[in-house]
Amino acid sequence: MSWSFYAGTTTLVAVTLYAYIRSNDKKLWSTPARALKVSPRRITEEDVEELKERMNRMEERRDAADAEASPKTGRRYIVVGGAGFLGGWIVIQLLQRGEDPKNIRVLDIRLPARRDLKYGIGKDVEYLVLDVSDREAVKNAFKQPWPDADACPSPSIPITIFHTAANIRFYERSASLLHHSTRVNVDGTQNIIDAALEIGASTLIYTSSGSVGVRASRFLLWPWEKEPNNFVQNLNDDDALLPKKHSQFFSNYAYSKYLAEKRVRKADKSASNSRPQGYRLRTGCIRPGNGIFGPGGDMLCGAYLVRQTNPTWISNIVSHFVYVENCAAAHLCYEQRLIEIERQHGLNSDNADMPSPNIPPRFPDIGGQAFTIADPGPPPTYGDVYLTLETLTNGQTFFPEISPTLMIFIAYIIEWYYLLRAFLLSFLLELSSVSSGVPNKPLLNLFSKLMKLSNFLLPPVNKDFVNLQPSLFNLTMVHLIFDDSRARMKPEQGGLGYQGRWNTAEGLWKTWDAHWKEIEMYEKERKEGVIRSDNQIRSDGAGVSFGFGMVRAQRGVSKVVEKVQRVEEKVQRVETKFEEVTT
């Protein structure tokens, strides 16, 4: 065959692929009317300027009449994951409402890096480093004496536990890798439940995830398909609507959170192992809708401010967000409801069978349930978020658009490589473990060399690119509408009384404001000779503490986006030449 035949075939394939990408992009960039119905208005630069003026006037706003405001309890608190982002805000809100720092214990995989926890309001809190999957470490940390144990014997003061720690590996969806997520998210949660029962804790609030209801989809469409399945998803507290099989969940992370949530809810009203008869552990779960953002280690929007250049392909997507202070307040709100129910029914008191005479029996028992929460107001599009941040930063933070279909192709390639490497290393490890009992030194040396060779030939996926796998699109490429109306109901109606002080736009302003204040502080410290690492700066301001996949994927994409654009330009030139030849 002639060279011209190969050239023509190659050109035809390239043009067909280009046409498919453009057609598929058009479908993915669409916003169905049923999504726009709940979010009909797009934000403008004028809206952002008005937001800046309004927020500058009420920067220190505190709504004393807020229905979700919770009073000081005088209890003891164990905050698992409290050195991080959401857990850190729970610690701060506990201290802000007047709780004694000596009555707060934080358990986390690392010590806090945030300025407010290390040097500010949280400096007198006790921080213990451990892995929640270590059963003995968790039990010992829970049993450790409190600073004022001599003055106030432990059994005399109720204990509330907030469990926010999680291993966020949502880029994995293969069932063979599920153990990576369940070790912390399921087994670790069971360790927390068991330790809570052993010390006689009265309340356990668990941070679940709104993603437990997100169903998997497919984004490489056939030419006759108009949109992906599950393109618009309405999510609420109805357990009957949740996926049930592993394959129906968008990733291993969501499935592991679902399993952990079931265990927490099942533990409600479990008898204490160390308290008198009648003491019960009351539990509940909060499902934050989609990404939690805000100052202090933001895993989503604040990281955009740090990165500045953020290639994106989801500007059209409608989705609820949760500002971190709203999310922390929802946890405290649920605790308060359970405390009221304890008093109402006379549980966990010296007279366990006698209802409190001061609390009328008017609150429905909402223990062992899960409540979805989101920011107040209509959900924005990611484009609204982008415009807000671009305007607040005077264009320093920006979001160039790239092809979602092209990124999906790349995501499948990364997943294929990731799974190939995982399966190969798992196979070699299994062979090595089987052979370890055989006193055959040459054989063991062979396996050792094979492991090293495999790591050399198949190096680990870069931490930024590892998040760019198909499951990422199942979470970010669909329109997610979270209904938190049940959480907003009055306590007398079986709700939490949650309201949310800040809408998403106001939360974005507060995130931006904290970010630039931190930069000013950093510059001041630098002039004074105080040097801090980038990780400390990001954790204090609006950076990434644990790394949210969308942001890290975008960071990886930014490294190749110029190459991708050059490829697209070449394809366009080929298409133009092809059209010239055919005409």
List the Cα angle 147/201/491 in 5-degree steps. Answer: 120
CA distances from 167 to 171, 208, 253, 392, 422 (A): 11, 12, 8, 32, 18
The tally of CA atoms less than 13 A away on the side-chain side of residue 90 is 32
Per-residue pLDDT at 66 exceeds 50: no
pLDDT digits (tens, 9 = 90+) for 399-442: 999 999 999 999 999 999 999 988 887 777 776 655 555 555 56
HSE-CB for 490 with a 13 A CA cutoff: 4
Query: How far is 100 from 8, CA to CA, in rounded Å?
Result: 76
CA distance 19 to 575: 10
Interstrand relation of 280-288 and 203-207 (parallel, antiparallel or unpaired)? parallel
232 strand-pairing partners: 479
3-state helix vs strand vs coil in the chain, percent to 5 = 50, 10, 40
pLDDT-derived band at 352 (thresholds 50, 70, 90) equals very low
State the sign of the Cα–Cα–Cα–Cα dihedral 486, 492, 498, 499.
positive
Highest mean pLDDT among 436-440, 468-472, 561-565: 468-472
Task: Indicate the pLDDT class of residue 186, thresholds 50, 70 and 90.
Answer: very high
Percent of the chain having pLDDT more than 70? 80
pLDDT reading at 461 higher than 80: yes
pLDDT in tens, 543-560: 333 334 555 555 555 555
Whether the CB-CB separation of 115 and 519 falls below 8 Å is answered with no
* Element counts in the chain: helices (H) and strands (E): 19, 12
Report which of residues 234 and 454 the model is more confident about: 234
pLDDT digits (tens, 9 = 90+) for 264-298: 999 999 988 766 666 789 999 999 998 899 998 77
Q: How many Å is the maximal CA-CA distance in the chain?
A: 95
Residues forming a β-bridge with 287: 372
Q: Which residues pair with 428 in a beta bridge?
A: none
| Cα–Cα dist 552/525, whole Å | 28
Give the Cα separation of 441 and 459 in Å (integer): 26
CATH topology of domain 45-400+475-559: Rossmann fold (3.40.50)
| Distant-in-sequence, close-in-space partners of 545: CB < 8 Å, separation ≥ 6 | 84, 85, 113, 296, 297, 298, 299, 538, 539
Q: Provide the pLDDT confidence category of residue 11 given band limits of 50, 70 and 90.
A: confident
Mean pLDDT computed over every residue of the chain: 85
3-state per-residue secondary structure call for 23-58: HHHHHHCCCCHHHHCCCCCCCCHHHHHHHHHHHHHC
pLDDT at 444: 60
Q: Which of 225-239, 352-366, 516-530, 559-573 is modeled with the greatest confidence?
A: 225-239
Report pTM.
Answer: 0.87
In this predicted model, what pLDDT tens digit does every residue of 131-151 receive, in sequence order? Answer: 999 999 999 999 999 987 655
What is the arithmetic mean of pLDDT over 386-396? 96
CA pair distance 360, 452, nearest whole angstrom = 68
Q: How confident is the model at residue 493 (pLDDT cuts 50, 70, 90)?
A: very high
Which amino acid is residue 333, in one-letter code? C
- Section 174-192 average pLDDT: 96
Does the pLDDT of residue 464 top 90, yes or no?
Answer: no
Q: What is the DSSP string of 123-153?
A: TTSEEEE--TT-HHHHHHHHHSPPTTTTTS-
Chain length of the chain: 583
* Rounded CA Rg of the chain: 26
pLDDT band at 154 (very low <50, low <70, confident <90, very high): low
Cβ neighbours of residue 576 under 8 Å, at least 6 residues apart?
none
pLDDT tens-digit series, residues 193-247: 999 999 999 999 999 999 999 999 999 999 999 999 999 999 999 999 999 899 9
Q: What percent of the chain has pLDDT over 90?
A: 64
The residue type of 393 is T
Judged by average pLDDT, the poorest of 72-76, 108-112, 304-308, 455-459 is 455-459
Measured between alpha carbons, how far is 573 from 488 in angstroms, rounded to an integer?
56
3-state secondary structure of 203: strand
Cβ pair 517, 439 in contact under 8 A: no
